[in-house]
Amino acid sequence: MSDVAHAHDDHGHHAHPTGIMRWLTTTNHKDIGTLYLFFALIMLFAAGSMALLIRAELFQPGLQLMHPDFFNQLTTMHGLIMIFGVIMPAFSGFANWQVPLMLGAPDMAFPRMNNWAFWVLPVAGLMLMSSFLLPGGAVAGGWTMYPPLFIQGGISYDLTILAVHIMGLSSIMGSINIITTILNMRAPGLTLMKMPLFCWTWLITAYLLIATMPVLAGAVTMLLTDRNFGTHFFNAAGGGDPVMFQHIFWFFAHPEVYILILPAFGIVSQVIPTFARKPLFGYASMVYATASIAILSFIVWAHHMFTVGMPAAAQLFFMFSTMLIAVPTGVKVFNWVATMWKGSMTFETPMLFAIAFVCLFTIGGFSGLVLAIAPVDIQLHDTYYVVAHFHYVLVSGALFAIFAGIYYWMPKWTGHMYDETLGKWHFWLSVIGMNIVFFPMHFLGLAGMPRRIPDYALQFTEFNQIATYGAFIFGFSQLIFLAVVLKSIKGGAKAPARVWEGAEGLEWTVPSPAPYHTFETAPVVK
Amino acid sequence: MEQLDTDGVARSLAGGFVFHSRPRCSLTRAQERLVFWSLVGVCFGAAIGFAVLGYWLVLPFAGLEIGLLAWALETMRKRESDYETLTIDGDAVVLEWRAGRRHGRREMNRHWVQIACDCSAPGKNCRLRVRSHGCETEVGHHLSDEARLRLAATLRSKLQA
């Protein structure tokens, strides 16, 4: 019976379903993780192409390439797809691959539900993308779906609401699976405070998702009934309150911002100690800081809507509560820097992306603090300063952490080392391109250029042209990333079980590539 | 039953063989209560707050979601005391199991025991049964198809030894 007891040692010798049916019917966490990651990659190129079209139009003042309504469709779909189709699925891919491996669990707690959670996503993605082909085109009211625009649009608005529902369902199923897996399937001896920080951040992220998804589902359903069934929840003409939609939406969407960044914190907290060859500084404080950020995320929503008008006391409350988030976030940044301090550092591609994350995410955090100041926000609201802020958080924050994680764990997934030279080219072009796109947007915003417009005043031309050059550098450098991934899947130097010298954790005890089934017998953690 | 939340252990005793399998269960009651009731509080707190303001459509979604969470936790809870033990000791083959509220024990003569497995490759929801005197009992509920096939081969060799 030793073959049952040590099933994770004899990989590759047992057949499993092959072909398309393997991917459609799979309940294996590694297969589903791969599906999530490829889905996110495809959507990244789709939504990234939309971003390049937007930047091409903004290269010069005046209308060059497209009708303004199509421009609005592109900005809306770019936002929706990047958030729900790229960042969230990519992190779900990491969770599927890594959480069971890190916990010493054979799979997720509910593998069949895991399969459903993934396979509803492409349906939603297809619905979103196909809305471009419908009469009137895709949704153009912004990813925030504010009424009255969202109540007045065509059939694609109903389709988008349905797609958002489906993506929410996928998130809920995924989150319940992750919470139950992390809490119930840890290896003997792996207490909560011994868990890798990536598991902690995902546990808290899943909690946030479960807590907030009903609010989004309710909000979009009320939009749907306003559109089709004669209700007036948000229709001012019928006595409804469109501003209330903003409150409901941001009650969901501010925690959603942390849903998009907490797993990134987890990835960076795995990568930095590995390449600094030191344990993570202040593990417990990292856990408490993550939990604090999650709790605070529920009481700051109205900082997105200072301009709608609210009592001074409310403005003060939301201003100070927002600023309070800088404290646990500062703890995290301090701990990452302290982990690197006097470490035996090496600078492989995952570490480069992690360091860029720490530096650039901090810039995004600081511009967030600026926007938290109510009187300043009233000046900067809906300007390019806001666009610069959230792209520093979501591109150099979430996306760079995703790149760091992929370079870090790809040898474990594929069994091959990636091409380090190409990886470094990808890093430097991305980091330079990203800063060229988004840093000038701070100046554009401070000078008063509004967001979501295809045309602008002449004085904004130079910074817009610089941003467009940067966008194309950043966009096309992602083709290098694609080449690195495909090359690593196809072949390359054989990766050992412990890919990185300083790597710690159960996932590095299994061979590379990780066998189809791992930890069928629980390892004991001391 | 899902194959994946399992923990199969097999070992040889002096002259005998024991296979023991049970689901993984690291969640304590206190942790379960904390997670569940805090989520109930946050979800329904927000939903009731919005309902009071007239935006009641958040409530049914909160209810559905908490229902799904409750089902997931209850399913795990039901499995926590499940186990299967198959012992081959001398001429005796003893099978003991608990699945939810059902539990049982069968003693068989080693020379009359047959191992039946209805597939030869994984991925087909393989069922592994221990058969004797016209009665058969399914084993390996907590295992993957691959592990079931390996267990079948091991049991056959142990029974013939």
Domain map (residue ranges) of chain B: 6-23+82-160, 29-79
Whether the bond into A61 is cis, omega within 30 of 0: no
Residue B154's pLDDT band, with cuts at 50, 70 and 90, is: confident
Say whether the ipTM exceeds 0.85: yes
Let me know: does A70 contact A78? Beta carbons within 8 Å: no
- Cβ–Cβ gap B25/A184 under 8 Å: yes
Q: What is the mean pLDDT of residues A121-145?
A: 93
Instruction: Write down the pLDDT at residue A10.
Output: 39
pLDDT of residue A207 exceeding 60, the answer is yes
Q: What is the mean pLDDT of residues A104-123?
A: 94
- For residue A67, being part of any structural domain is answered with yes
Residue A348, SS3?
coil
- For residue A59, being part of any structural domain is answered with yes
Binding-face residues of A in 176-195 toward B, CB within 8 A: 176-177, 179-180, 183-188, 190, 192
Instruction: Write down the pLDDT at residue A9.
Output: 38
pLDDT of residue B1 exceeding 80, the answer is no
Q: What is the mean pLDDT of residues A249-266?
A: 95
Q: What is the mean pLDDT of residues B128-135?
A: 89
pLDDT digits (tens, 9 = 90+) for A470-519: 999 999 999 999 999 999 999 989 999 999 999 999 999 999 999 988 88
Q: Nearest-CA residue of chain A relative to B121?
A: A15
pLDDT top residue among A411 and B88: A411
Interchain CB contact of A211 with B (< 8 Å): yes
Instruction: Write down the pLDDT at residue B15.
Output: 61
| Closest CB to B65 among A105, A188, A214 | A214
Residue B10's pLDDT band, with cuts at 50, 70 and 90, is: low
pLDDT of residue A303 exceeding 90, the answer is yes
Q: Average pLDDT over chain B, rounded to whole?
A: 84
Instruction: Using alpha carbons, list the distances in angstroms from residue A435 to A146, A164, A303, A432.
Output: 30, 31, 26, 5
pLDDT of residue B116 exceeding 90, the answer is no
- For residue A253, being part of any structural domain is answered with no
Q: Nearest-CA residue of chain B relative to A8?
A: B147
- Cβ–Cβ gap B151/A180 under 8 Å: no
- Cβ–Cβ gap B8/A521 under 8 Å: yes
Q: What is the mean pLDDT of residues A285-306?
A: 95
Q: What is the pTM of this model?
A: 0.91
Residue B17, SS3?
strand
Q: Average pLDDT over chain A, rounded to whole?
A: 93
- For residue A454, being part of any structural domain is answered with no
pLDDT top residue among B143 and A67: A67
Q: Which residues contact A75 (CB under 8 A, 6 or more apart)?
A: A54, A142, A452
- Residue A252 tokens read as 């969901």
Instruction: Write down the pLDDT at residue B125.
Output: 66
pLDDT of residue A422 exceeding 90, the answer is yes
- Cβ–Cβ gap A180/B122 under 8 Å: no
Instruction: Write down the pLDDT at residue A517.
Output: 85
Let me know: does B110 contact B86? Beta carbons within 8 Å: no
pLDDT of residue A192 exceeding 90, the answer is yes
Query: Domain range holding A75?
Result: 24-195
Instruction: Write down the pLDDT at residue B2.
Output: 27
Instruction: Write down the pLDDT at residue A3.
Output: 35
Catalytic residue among A11, A165, A232, A451: A451
Catalytic residue among A131, A269, A274, A362: A269
| Closest CB to B69 among A176, A185, A244 | A176
Domain count, chain A: 1
Binding-face residues of A in 463-522 toward B, CB within 8 A: 516-517, 520-522
- Cβ–Cβ gap A4/B8 under 8 Å: yes
- Domain B6-23+82-160 = CATH 1.20.120: no
